[in-house]
Structure 1
Amino acid sequence: MAIWNGRVLNLCILWLLVSIVLLNGIDCHSRKKKLPKPCRNLVLYFHDIIYNGKNAGNATSTLVAAPQGANLTIMTGNYHFGDLAVFDDPITVDNNLHSPPVGRAQGFYFYDMKNTFSAWLGFTFVLNSTDYKGTITFGGADPILAKYRDISVVGGTGDFLMARGIATIDTDAYEGDVYFRLRVNITLYECY
């Protein structure tokens, strides 16, 4: 029985050594995956007007949750940590808030860092115009102080059925705690 256990142990060690030698020759990181050519690119703007307790008539977003004891109508804390906002913002093809909208940006963002401005975004562009019909869904981290930030395009419907890609966003305009405009450069790599 001891001889049998010794042979099994020797075979296991031999198998392990052969596996290491064979796998060592395979370098998974030496070949970089080449991205396919983008199948679609578009640039849209969305305009967020934050409810501040006085602008209910034209506000397109509002805080719905905040840390214990915070005032929900006025953003609190240096970096708004813990604040959760929902929005239903107009989308335009140029940076003018008063341009005819091509759809709505609907979703939420929450501030997720205590020591700098950072948020996590989850939203959908609901598009209904002569040029675009359907939805594009986005999700990802938004380190707000960076000039350009990439978030994932995770799906879509209609003209954007099952779309996948990257959206590069930048804060195109900012007016205190009341208004900001995001420029969203959408590059799709999967289009159906």
Structure 2
Amino acid sequence: MAKKGVTTTVVLFLALVAEAHAVHGAGRRKEEAADPTHLHFYFHDTVSGKSPTAVRVVEPPPAASSSPMSMFGMVNVMDDPLTEGPEQGSAPVGRAQGLYMGSDQARLGFLQAMNLVLTSGPYNGSTLALLGRNCPLDAVRELPIVGGTGAFRFARGYALLRTHWLDVRTGDATVEYDVYVMH
């Protein structure tokens, strides 16, 4: 009798595992077949003036072993506005919160780690996490999306960045973002 009970338990367990796998697998196939969501906005990085949105917390060391234009070793922390259009007064869509640091000894190149915190529209309250190399003098840069929260939980994708405007004297910039995310 005990043998029959164990066999029934094993069969029921295998049936539950197969059902759970089928349900989970179906969801995964649906996600993989989904089209990416495209987001478009502008990022405003202001390091000058009375109300900067990015603040230098570490100065680059003296340019002994690196190019003076590389900013190697510099660290800025940011809480930059994201807007619908390139004008500062354009409708807000969120904030870019994180940091960027000079990580290239030969040219201007940053390691950028940030959360795009969306504050309006259908993704209000959701975030995207980006981490990657950003060389601001290149025409187009690509940063990977490594995760997200809310509507973007388990997100993956990429962001294409294009400098819209740059003041080389102050370092202030407006950058166009085209974000493609699977979620």
Aligned match of 1:148: 140
Q: CA shift at 1:132, angstroms? A: 2.3
Partner of 2:76: 85
Match of residue 114 from structure 2: 123
Task: Using structure 1 for the length normalisation, give the TM-score.
Answer: 0.70
User: For 1:169, which of 149, 152, 161 is the aligned residue?
Assistant: 161
Tell me how far 1:69 sits from its aligned partner: 6.3
- Cα pair 1:102 1:132 within 8 Å, conserved: no
Following superposition, the deviation at residue 47 of structure 1 comes to 0.1
Say which structure is richer in helix.
2
TM-aligned CA deviation for residue 143 of structure 1: 2.3
Aligned 8 A contact 2:41 2:93 in 1? no
Is 1:64 paired with 2:61?
no
| 3-state SS of paired residue (2:152) | coil
Q: Find the counterpart in structure 2 of residue 136 from structure 1.
A: 128
Moved more, 170-179 or 120-129: 170-179
Which residue does 2:25 correspond to in 1? none
Unaligned runs of 5+ in 2: 1-31
Match of 1:47 in 2: 44
Structure 1 residues 80 and 38: alpha-carbon distance in aligned structure 2, compared to 1, 3 A threshold: same
Assess, with a 3 A threshold, how the Cα gap between structure 1 residues 187 and 130 changes in structure 2: closer, same or farther.
closer
Secondary structure at the residue paired with 1:159? helix
Structure 1 91/141 Cα, relative in aligned 2: closer, same or farther at 3 Å? same
Quickly say closer, same or farther: Cα 1:119–1:36, change in 2 above 3 A. Answer: farther
Residues 139 and 36 of structure 1, relative CA distance in 2, 3 Å threshold: farther
Residue 111 of structure 2 contacts residue 132 of structure 2 at CA under 8 Å; is this kept in 1?
A: yes
One-letter amino acid matched to 2:143: I
- Residue 170 (structure 1) shift: 1.2
- What is the CA-CA distance between 1:117 and the residue it aligns to? 1.1
Tell me by how many angstroms 1:79 deviates: 2.1
1:84 Cα shift?
0.5
- Determine if contact 2:102/2:109 at 8 Å carries over to the other structure: yes
Structure 2 CA distance, aligned partners of 1:165 and 1:36?
A: 14
| 1:98 positional shift | 0.8
CA distance in 2, matches of 1:154, 1:174: 27
Q: Structure 2 length normalisation: TM-score?
A: 0.73
- Fraction of identical pairs, as percent: 30
Larger radius of gyration: 1
